[in-house]
């Protein structure tokens, strides 16, 4: 990876208010249309504002902390120095939506110090980008501050009105919620419409708090996204909503004893991010969060490879099979051996069936869940040392599967569910990764369902944030890629650790298996919320959309089949699952062809159209190839649109294979009706697309002739 960094020191503009003696100071930093205004008043209280083209986006918003129980770091400051510089670099992600990323912004560093003892120093670093502002606090190494406890972060994001908001409640342990769109003044986590059952909602102490990424739209058409970048050794930021003045304030996830974090100088917080644009498409195209993360720490990344995979998985999710080998764990203590239940999915014969199917259709990898002892008591119980991550059930032959998959050219993906016993996983990680190396697993899906052990810690607290990072680093040490389920939502850390391919950390397609599912607008909101921080293992590609759940035979998904195909393009991830059962793909091999063809790594991405809660259309160019793919989705309403294909190479004619909803398709009444058309197109073609209610369209463009 090559970096070109140019730092130019800038002339500083200090604007003193009328009375210089009182030292009201404001500093402006502007980059293109975006401005950041930092101010400190005569009491030494600091705040900031964000403007776009002169229009206020954030009103004066407070900065600071309460540390060590009674030390305030929100007033009595004086500025000791202000530095400004330009950052301009171009970098190449190991994998991603585009080949090259431009990081161009203006940096403003405000160095402050308390005006009386203990004279603590605190810096605020602002970066102003074309599409928004990021800022972080920095605590330099100093004799007056070494180890300290964060009791509260006071950061505010004061909005200018009662904006439309796409939100999920501020649970400390789960982000797997359906989105509610409401006005800010209507946010109420205890009243939001729950459309699911069996949720793992565990801790919503503040009914007026929400999670980030938080997506907002103003009445005059500004799109605002608030999140954080580079969440490392710190607690996740959730936001309390002040419903009367539309202010948001940081609400850090506490630890087991109620503290919000522990730092040692020199220390820095994650970046707080405010993306803003007049165009919704700019929000999805923004690389600001990635740019605020550190460059890759993995020098040789040639072993890191995006992939598509299948899984011995959906059959357990829908109740056809089980993760556990026995239905009677107590037989172990009585007779010394497990009694098989007859429907354990991860058995060698069944796994081979999946390997055969994947191999035949060129799907390169296979995940098998439920292969290892422990699933009888994997969650909902306080059992710290449940899994050892290396002992298979008697019907899963590790060696034979390793040999068979290798012979068939299918890469096995390891599964390490921890049952949220993170301390147990910490103790076993080396053994688990050695096992992966020995049997040829090059990636792992981890999981953290349940209440965290150590007791009282939360999925989104600092202790777990550090645990997930340890797991990513440990995986890298063993050349293993990682996909985490149930971690805190991502903040762009995959730039720093590109072996961290994806996470779930949101409400995936799997909720359609065991609950009332995801509403038709869900996937039009997710890219603006959950996906802002990084790729999601959403597990698209369900073809059998009705009557698939064993215990709820009338269950049906709120999507058409064509929309399931479009999600491979609209829900970005470098690992994409073909999530349905082989027999359901056998029934629609012509549509399955799109899943076989679609790429997982890209040279370029064009966000063509987007409106949160309504629709999204995206085109992407396959990495190192001339093929383009397009995915377009709609919410519960049908949609007609037309796209000029001006992203295509001007010198080529392409064969477009269009997978679209049949004219009579409808997510509710006729979800599996699709049609496939082949036409020739070029960059001038104005392509008409029609989507059914809850529908979508997926297109592959393959060059056939050079003009």
Q: What is the DSSP letter of 639?
A: E
**How many chain residues touch ligand NOJ (CB under 6 A)?**
8
Q: What torsion do the CA atoms of 88, 294, 536, 456 make, to the nearest 10 degrees?
A: -140
Q: CB 444 → Ca ion: shortest distance, Å?
A: 15
Q: How many CA atoms lie less than 13 Å away from 548 in the CB half-sphere?
A: 24
Residues constituting the chain: 707
695 binding partner (options Ca ion, ligand NOJ, none; Cβ < 5 to 8 Å by kind): none
Choose between 449 and 626: whose C-beta lies nearer to Ca ion: 449
Cα separation, 635 vs 639, in Å, equals 9
Choose between 448 and 528: whose C-beta lies nearer to Ca ion: 448
Considering only the stretches 231-239, 392-400, 435-443, 500-508, report the one whose residues sit in contact with Ca ion under the rule CB under 5 A. Answer: 500-508
510 has catalytic annotation? yes
Q: Is 9 exposed, middle or buried (0-12, 13-18, 19+ CB in 10 A)?
A: exposed
Q: CB 27 → ligand NOJ: shortest distance, Å?
A: 46
369 binding partner (options ligand NOJ, Ca ion, none; Cβ < 5 to 8 Å by kind): ligand NOJ
Helix/strand number for the chain, H first, E second: 13, 39
- Considering only residues 3 to 42 of the shown chain, the ones binding ligand NOJ according to CB under 6 A are none
Cα separation, 694 vs 707, in Å, equals 38
Choose between 54 and 198: whose C-beta lies nearer to ligand NOJ: 198
485 touches ligand NOJ (CB under 6 A): yes
Choose between 175 and 524: whose C-beta lies nearer to ligand NOJ: 175
Q: What torsion do the CA atoms of 294, 295, 299, 304 make, to the nearest 10 degrees?
A: 100
311 binding partner (options Ca ion, ligand NOJ, none; Cβ < 5 to 8 Å by kind): none
CA 302 to chain centre: 24
Token code pair at residue 536: 């999601």
156 touches ligand NOJ (CB under 6 A): no
Choose between 509 and 605: whose C-beta lies nearer to ligand NOJ: 509
417 touches ligand NOJ (CB under 6 A): yes
Pick one of 510, 521, 622, 672: the residue that binds ligand NOJ (CB under 6 A): 510
Cα separation, 662 vs 667, in Å, equals 11
Which of 409, 400, 473, 399 shows the shortest CA–CA distance to 435? 399
- Considering only residues 87 to 146 of the shown chain, the ones binding ligand NOJ according to CB under 6 A are none
Catalytic entry in 228, 510, 622, 660: 510
Q: What torsion do the CA atoms of 339, 341, 346, 349 make, to the nearest 10 degrees?
A: 90
Task: Report whether the peptide linkage leading into residue 385 is cis, meaning its omega lies within 30 degrees of zero.
Answer: no
Q: CB 485 → ligand NOJ: shortest distance, Å?
A: 4
Cα separation, 654 vs 642, in Å, equals 17
Choose between 485 and 522: whose C-beta lies nearer to Ca ion: 485
- Considering only residues 563 to 622 of the shown chain, the ones binding ligand NOJ according to CB under 6 A are none
Task: Please report the DSSP string for 90-146 in residue order.
Answer: EE--SSSSSS-EEEEEEEEEEEEEESSTT--EEEEEEEEETTEEEEEEEE--BTTBS
Pick one of 285, 332, 449, 626: the residue that binds ligand NOJ (CB under 6 A): 449
694 touches ligand NOJ (CB under 6 A): no
Q: CB 483 → Ca ion: shortest distance, Å?
A: 11
Cα separation, 576 vs 93, in Å, equals 18
Choose between 63 and 571: whose C-beta lies nearer to ligand NOJ: 571
Considering only the stretches 34-42, 222-230, 501-509, 577-585, report the one whose residues sit in contact with Ca ion under the rule CB under 5 A. Answer: 501-509
Pick one of 447, 490, 533, 574: the residue that binds ligand NOJ (CB under 6 A): 447
Q: What is the DSSP letter of 565?
A: H
Buried b / exposed e across 598-609, counting CB within 10 Å, b at 16+? bbbbbbebbbbb
Pick one of 113, 152, 369, 376: the residue that binds ligand NOJ (CB under 6 A): 369
Q: CB 508 → ligand NOJ: shortest distance, Å?
A: 6
Considering only the stretches 83-91, 152-160, 481-489, 492-500, report the one whose residues sit in contact with Ca ion under the rule CB under 5 A. Answer: 481-489
Q: What is the CA radius of gyration of the chain?
A: 26
Cα separation, 325 vs 394, in Å, equals 9
622 binding partner (options Ca ion, ligand NOJ, none; Cβ < 5 to 8 Å by kind): none
Choose between 148 and 538: whose C-beta lies nearer to Ca ion: 538
Q: Catalog residues that contact Ca ion under the rule CB under 5 A.
A: 485, 504
Q: Catalog residues that contact ligand NOJ under the rule CB under 6 A.
A: 313, 369, 417, 447, 449, 485, 504, 510
Report, as residue numbers or ranges, the catalytic residues: 510
């Amino acid at each position: 990876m090559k970096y070109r960094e140019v730092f130019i020191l800038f002339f500083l503009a200090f604007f003193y208010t009328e009375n210089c003696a009182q030292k009201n100071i404001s500093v402006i930093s502007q980059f293109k249309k975006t401005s950041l205004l930092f101010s400190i008043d005569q009491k030494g209280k600091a705040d900031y504002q964000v403007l776009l083209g002169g229009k206020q986006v954030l009103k004066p918003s407070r900065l600071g902390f309460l540390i060590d129980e009674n030390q305030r770091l929100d007033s009595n400051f004086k500025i000791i120095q202000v530095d400004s510089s330009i950052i301009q670099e171009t970098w190449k992600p190991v994998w991603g939506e585009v080949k090259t990323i431009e990081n161009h912004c203006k940096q403003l560093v405000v160095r402050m110090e308390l005006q009386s003892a203990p004279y603590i120093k605190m810096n605020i670093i602002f970066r102003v980008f074309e599409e928004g502002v990021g800022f972080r606090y920095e605590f330099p190494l100093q004799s007056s501050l070494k180890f300290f406890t964060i009791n509260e972060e006071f950061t505010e994001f004061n909005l200018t009105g009662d904006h439309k908001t796409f939100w999920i409640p501020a649970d400390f342990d789960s982000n797997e919620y359906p989105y509610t769109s409401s006005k800010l003044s209507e946010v109420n986590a205890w009243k939001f419409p729950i459309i699911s059952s069996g949720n793992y909602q565990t801790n919503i102490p503040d009914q007026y708090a929400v999670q980030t990424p938080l997506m907002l739209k103003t009445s005059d058409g500004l799109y605002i996204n608030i999140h954080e970048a580079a969440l490392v050794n710190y607690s996740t930021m959730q936001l309390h909503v002040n419903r009367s003045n539309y202010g948001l304030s940081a609400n850090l996830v506490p630890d087991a004893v109620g503290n919000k974090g522990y730092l040692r100088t020199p220390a820095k917080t994650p970046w707080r991010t405010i993306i803003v644009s007049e165009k919704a498409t700019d929000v999805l195209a923004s690389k600001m969060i990635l740019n605020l993360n550190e460059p890759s720490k993995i020098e040789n990344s040639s072993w890191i490879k995006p992939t598509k995979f299948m899984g011995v998985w959906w059959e357990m999710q829908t109740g056809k099979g089980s993760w556990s080998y026995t239905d009677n764990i107590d037989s172990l203590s009585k007779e010394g051996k497990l009694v098989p239940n007859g429907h354990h999915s991860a058995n060698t014969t069944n796994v081979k069936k999946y390997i055969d199917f994947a191999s035949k259709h060129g799907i390169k990898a296979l995940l098998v869940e439920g292969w290892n002892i422990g699933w009888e008591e994997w969650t909902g119980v306080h059992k710290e040392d449940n899994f050892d991550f290396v002992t298979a059930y008697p019907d899963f032959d590790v060696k034979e599967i390793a040999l068979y998959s290798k012979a068939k050219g299918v890469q096995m993906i390891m599964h390490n569910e921890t049952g949220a016993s993170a301390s147990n996983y910490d103790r076993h990680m080396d053994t688990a990764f050695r096992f992966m190396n020995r049997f040829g697993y090059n990636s792992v899906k981890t999981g953290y369902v349940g209440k965290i052990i150590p007791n009282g810690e939360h999925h989104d607290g600092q202790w777990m944030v550090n645990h997930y990072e340890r797991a990513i680093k440990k995986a890298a040490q063993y050349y293993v890629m990682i996909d985490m389920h149930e971690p805190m939502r991502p903040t762009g850390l995959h730039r720093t650790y590109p072996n961290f391919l994806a996470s779930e950390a949101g409400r995936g397609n799997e909720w359609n298996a065991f609950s009332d599912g995801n509403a038709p607008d869900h996937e039009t909101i997710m890219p603006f919320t959950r996906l802002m921080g990084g790729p999601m293992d959403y597990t698209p590609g369900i073809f059998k959309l009705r009557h698939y759940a064993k215990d709820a035979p009338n269950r049906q998904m709120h999507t058409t089949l064509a929309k399931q195909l479009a999600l491979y393009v609209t829900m970005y991830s470098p690992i994409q699952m073909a999530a349905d059962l082989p027999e359901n793909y056998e029934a629609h091999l012509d549509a399955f062809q799109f899943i076989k063809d679609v790429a997982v790594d890209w040279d370029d991405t064009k966000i063509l159209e987007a409106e949160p809660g309504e629709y999204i259309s995206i085109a992407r160019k396959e990495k190192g190839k001339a093929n383009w793919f397009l995915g377009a989705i709609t919410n519960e309403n049908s949609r007609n649109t037309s796209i000029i294909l001006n992203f295509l190479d001007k010198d080529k004619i392409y064969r477009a294979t269009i997978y679209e909803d049949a004219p009579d398709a409808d997510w509710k009444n006729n979800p599996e009706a699709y049609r496939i058309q082949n036409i020739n197109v070029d960059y001038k073609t104005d392509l008409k697309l029609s989507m059914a209610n809850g529908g979508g369209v997926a297109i592959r463009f393959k060059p056939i002739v050079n003009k």
